[in-house]
Structure 1
Amino acid sequence: MIVRRAYAHVPDGSAGEWPWTVPCVRQLLGEGMRFTAPVTFLVGENGSGKSTLVEAVAEAYGLDPWGGAAGRRYAGPREKSPLGERIRFEAAGGGRRMLGSRAARRGFFLRAETARDALDRAGFGPDFRSHGEGFLAAFREEFRGPGLFVLDEPEAALSFTSCLELVGHLAQVVENGGQVVCATHSPLLTAMPGADILELDEDGARRVAWQDLRLVDHWRRYLADPGSYLRHVLE
């Protein structure tokens, strides 16, 4: 692992402003965020702060918040976030050298919203391949060796089978000494053995077993009886 804990301090006079008002960010300010496994999934409803956290972690580590690899010049128009500028890390045993020097940091940030641009710049553009195939090509080539690999809803471009392949790539990252932080809505990805799962809601973030996730419960109920959900939106 590279990072054992992330923490930050709110700027003076800014406590009532975004992103400091987001519950999971307030918790980060008060307690920090501990990483207890090589793969950490952040799960929650839209607006719960998943993307806010993963983007800030990527930026604090030195990854382009627009998406891309460590050590490459920022290519996107996205400005640095106030949270990303203030996050600091406590190193895990394998991350002291990497966190001690920005030049030594390795990793990649892939966010669903800007993935096509990031993949184009990394040489995995859409020519002769689908969007999902470009994602998988990036995973094969960029998600290798020790480093911090951050993903924001990677399942957006992937089929069921491709999501299974992604789990295999993430396992290879772990085997090679890397660490993964991933925001997702996927019950398939979060079922990865050994992963740590943080469920985000209006109370902040809490560790949850896969089988106790709200999204897993909803998917079970929906697949068993779609009509019980659809009648509320179609009637």
Structure 2
Amino acid sequence: MLIERAYVDVPEGTGTVEDGWPWTVPCVRQLAEDGLAFGAPVTFLVGENGSGKSTLAEALAEGFGLDSYGGSAGYKYASSREASLLGGLMRFDPTREGRGMVRGPRVRRRGFFLRAETAMEALNRERSALKLSRSPDDMSHGEGFLMAFRERFAQRGLYVMDEPEAALSFSSCLELVGLMDELGRGGAQIICATHSPLLTALPGAEIVEVGEHGMRRVEWAELGLVDHWRRYLSDPRAYLRHVLEG
């Protein structure tokens, strides 16, 4: 692990609900007040759309020096996007193993930020920088994701993912679970925002549920998404009768 706690260095006079977004988002407000501790190499952020989990994932990536548009650490090949307000205020308490990377110059930081909506463009930039063996344009969306996982998720660093399951089949998600476990055992750290009950079932991972309550740690079996998937697969009509005519 590289980071044991993330927090926001909030300037005096900011960081309250009265200051507007992003402080009106409950998980961001809790982050500003209490910080977010990490107790395992893999942390999942789970919540409904609009809960703030993607905002949180992006800010963590930006604060570490990962390209805010998606891609590698160090900003050498980064997009022209400026860091968000929250990302610019993000700070980290490193572990002993992560001290040199977190507190050293940005060029020493290693990792990758993969966000579903910009992944292919980011991967094409990685290919232009000769960091990938093939062009993502020559393969399917899911194959491009898997190539990134295999070739860019390969060393100790911080790996932030925002809904990586969006392009992946069931078997590909299982492959990603195996890679997360391997990276974590090798000293890397993974933070993943997801809706997937498959990914979040990784043994030993921490799950942080994000919502109106802010943030709280939960067990896999306690997740609402796990319960809903169980019920839906058991009896789809119990759900579909609420959304289908007739």
- TM-score, normalisation: structure 1: 0.96
Q: Distance in 2 between matches of 1:134 and 1:189?
A: 19
1:154 to 164, 170, 178: 164
Q: Distance in 1 between matches of 2:144 and 2:96?
A: 33
Deviations 1:91-145 (A, max 9, x none): 0121011111122110000000100101111125333321111111111111112
Is contact 1:43–1:199 with CA below 8 Å preserved after alignment? yes
Is the partner of 1:18 in helix, strand or coil? Answer: coil
2:126 matched to 1:116? no
Q: Distance in 1 between matches of 2:109 and 2:205?
A: 23
1:71 to 71, 74, 77: 74
1:22 aligned residue: 25
Alignment of 1:27-66 (within 5 A): 27-66=30-69
Q: In the superposition, relative to structure 1, how do residues 13 and 196 fare at CA in structure 2: closer, same or farther (>3 Å)?
A: closer
Is contact 2:15–2:32 with CA below 8 Å preserved after alignment? no
Shift of the alpha carbon at 1:67? 0.3
Shift of the alpha carbon at 1:45? 0.1
Q: Which amino acid aligns with 1:168?
A: G
2:208 matched to 1:198? yes
2:12 matched to 1:3? no
Q: Which runs of 5+ in 1 are unaligned?
A: none
Cα RMSD (Å): 1.3
Q: Distance in 1 between matches of 2:126 and 2:44?
A: 24
Is contact 2:15–2:29 with CA below 8 Å preserved after alignment? no
Q: Which runs of 5+ in 2 are unaligned?
A: none
Q: Distance in 2 between matches of 1:231 and 1:196?
A: 35
Shift of the alpha carbon at 1:71? 1.6
Shift of the alpha carbon at 1:77? 4.8
Q: In the superposition, relative to structure 1, how do residues 206 and 128 fare at CA in structure 2: closer, same or farther (>3 Å)?
A: same
Q: Distance in 2 between matches of 1:78 and 1:230?
A: 41
How much identity, in percent, do the aligned residues show? 63
Q: Distance in 2 between matches of 1:187 and 1:230?
A: 20
Q: Distance in 1 between matches of 2:176 and 2:242?
A: 34
2:102 aligned residue: 99
2:178 to 155, 165, 168: 168
Is the partner of 1:194 in helix, strand or coil? Answer: coil
Q: Distance in 2 between matches of 1:191 and 1:83?
A: 29
Is the partner of 2:207 in helix, strand or coil? Answer: strand
Is contact 1:144–1:176 with CA below 8 Å preserved after alignment? no
Is contact 2:72–2:78 with CA below 8 Å preserved after alignment? no
1:139 to 130, 146, 149: 149
How many matched pairs?
A: 235
Poorly superposed stretches of 4+, deviation over 4 Å: none
2:233 aligned residue: 223
Q: Distance in 2 between matches of 1:118 and 1:107?
A: 14
